């Protein structure tokens, strides 16, 4: 048992405390230690050891940390980074007392995304306060939206209808219901009667935006059927007051912030990244393009995979798509290594265009850049996909010039 009168730093050094953390105390050995090692050293600032003296807090914390450990075990070791204290310390604190599975999962996934090179930029500290302001039912709605996001829709929405009564005397009227989404029944909420309060909170948090009732041609048949009995009853009860009672269709749309938030609190994004890499390994570029394009449309495709998408376009001969995206994203080619990659992609594009002068032009640009740049680093990208592609092409003048460009850059 830990002596409660010990100074915080002494408690941190105790065998019992280290046992609670397990391999957190071994940053060089495990992914868990690498990602949380610094936070372990700084944890005295949030009185974490003292909180773990409470048996219930310790049990909750151990359960949540075990889930976090399972989450990052599938991550490649080279992608694990130390989590920034600004986001990691408050998250560890939350994991000592949050028991609701839906809310704890949001915190754990946010922590896990902060531990990966590929997804760390999604882990914004403000998302902690958003989760903190969610009820268990609202967390269910977020988990529902994350599930919908797996389909990678361009515009993630929640459909709703409202009943409107049109007055006898004038063309004016008033709404006779709040938003009707049927989510309260689909998600088995604890307090289904609070569904509109929940939706209002998600709007206030900036996750959803209300498009307000308007005339929409799209079918809402399933949703209307869910409230058919209620609508029929309302029409009968309101027949003396209103000329007619109608159904207005509309929807709540996930905002740009909401889209970013959903990505930061789910495992879907990381799994999609890995799927793209696996498709690339087996030369299935068409499917890799579909996944990458959907991420790009949702503004959640990282720079490294944006370069890959440009490469995929060239590997399947989609020059129009390549040129369009290349012109839209010049900022991704800033810096020593990225400039070379940008020039090289232009060389490969010139190969498809049968443009030998362009190959020579960009080869010279790369050579000049490598000589003159103050920042000289080894290229991690070996262009193996392009070399594989080249080997299957017939021996033509353009192929020979392309091979010469590769050899001159010492890439093959």
What is the tens place of the pLDDT at every residue in 36-67?
766 666 655 456 666 766 778 888 888 888 88
pLDDT digits (tens, 9 = 90+) for 223-277: 999 999 999 999 888 888 888 888 999 999 999 899 889 888 887 777 788 788 8
Six-digit token pair at 309?
């998408």
First to last CA, the chain: 62
- How much of the chain, in percent, has pLDDT values that exceed 70? 78
CA distance 302 to 381: 16
CA distance 335 to 380: 14
Residue-level pLDDT at 202: 97
User: Which of 11-20, 201-210, 386-395 shows the lowest mean pLDDT across its residues?
Assistant: 11-20
pTM listed for this prediction: 0.69
| Pair 297, 174: CB distance under 8 Å | no
392-401: long-range pairs with CB below 8 Å, 24+: 397/356, 398/351, 398/354, 398/356, 398/359, 399/351, 401/356, 401/359, 401/360
Spell out a b/e string for 309-342, using b for 16 or more CB atoms within 10 Å of the CB, else e. bbbbbbbeebeebbeebbeebeebbeeebbbbbb
CA distance 188 to 343: 54
Q: Where does residue 344 rank: exposed (0-12), middle (13-18), buried (19+ CB within 10 A)?
A: buried
Residue-level pLDDT at 263: 83
Beta bridge partners of 249: 161, 214
349-355: long-range pairs with CB below 8 Å, 24+: 349/314, 349/319, 349/322, 349/323, 351/398, 351/399, 351/402, 352/314, 352/317, 352/319, 353/319, 354/398
More confident: 181 or 34: 181
Six-digit token pair at 291?
């996944």
Residue-level pLDDT at 355: 86
Ordered by where they begin, the domains of the chain are 8-132 (no CATH), 157-258 (no CATH), 266-408 (1.25.40)
Residue 11, pLDDT > 60, answer no
């Amino acid at each position: 048992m830990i002596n409660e009168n010990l100074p915080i730093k002494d408690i941190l050094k105790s065998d019992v405390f280290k046992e609670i953390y397990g391999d957190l105390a071994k940053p060089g050995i495990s992914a868990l230690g690498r990602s949380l090692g610094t936070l372990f050293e700084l944890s005295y600032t949030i009185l974490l050891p003292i909180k773990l003296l409470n048996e219930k807090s310790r049990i909750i914390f151990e359960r949540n940390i075990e889930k976090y450990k399972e989450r990052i075990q599938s991550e490649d070791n080279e992608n694990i980074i130390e989590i920034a204290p600004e986001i990691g310390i408050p998250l560890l604190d939350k994991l000592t007392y949050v028991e609701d599975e839906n809310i704890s999962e949001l915190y754990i996934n946010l922590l896990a995304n902060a531990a990966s090179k590929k997804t760390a930029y999604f882990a914004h500290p403000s998302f902690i306060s958003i989760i903190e302001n969610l009820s268990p039912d609202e967390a269910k709605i977020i988990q529902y939206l994350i599930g919908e996001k797996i389909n990678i829709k361009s515009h993630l929405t929640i459909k709703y209808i409202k009943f409107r009564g049109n007055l006898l005397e004038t063309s004016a009227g008033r709404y006779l219901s709040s938003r009707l989404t049927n989510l309260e029944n689909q998600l088995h909420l604890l307090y289904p009667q609070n569904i509109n309060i929940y939706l209002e909170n998600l709007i206030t948090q900036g996750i959803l935006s209300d498009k307000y009732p308007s005339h929409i041609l799209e079918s809402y048949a399933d949703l209307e059927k869910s409230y058919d009995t209620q609508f029929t009853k309302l029409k009968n009860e309101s027949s003396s007051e209103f000329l007619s009672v109608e159904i207005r269709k509309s929807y709540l749309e996930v905002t740009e912030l909401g889209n970013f938030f959903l990505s930061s609190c789910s495992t879907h994004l990381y799994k999609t990244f890995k799927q793209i890499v696996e498709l690339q390994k087996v030369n299935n570029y068409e499917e890799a393009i579909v996944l990458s394009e959907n991420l790009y449309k949702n503004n959640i495709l990282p720079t490294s995979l944006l370069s890959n998408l440009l490469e995929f376009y060239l590997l399947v001969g989609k020059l129009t798509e390549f040129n369009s995206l290349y012109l839209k994203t010049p900022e991704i080619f800033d810096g020593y290594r990225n400039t070379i990659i940008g020039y090289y992609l232009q060389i490969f594009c010139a190969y498809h265009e049968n443009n030998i002068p362009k190959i020579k032009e960009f080869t010279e640009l790369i050579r000049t850049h490598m000589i003159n740049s103050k920042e000289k680093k080894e290229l991690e990208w070996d262009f193996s996909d392009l070399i594989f592609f080249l080997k299957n092409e017939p021996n033509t003048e353009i192929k020979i010039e392309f091979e010469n460009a590769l050899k001159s850059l010492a890439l093959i």
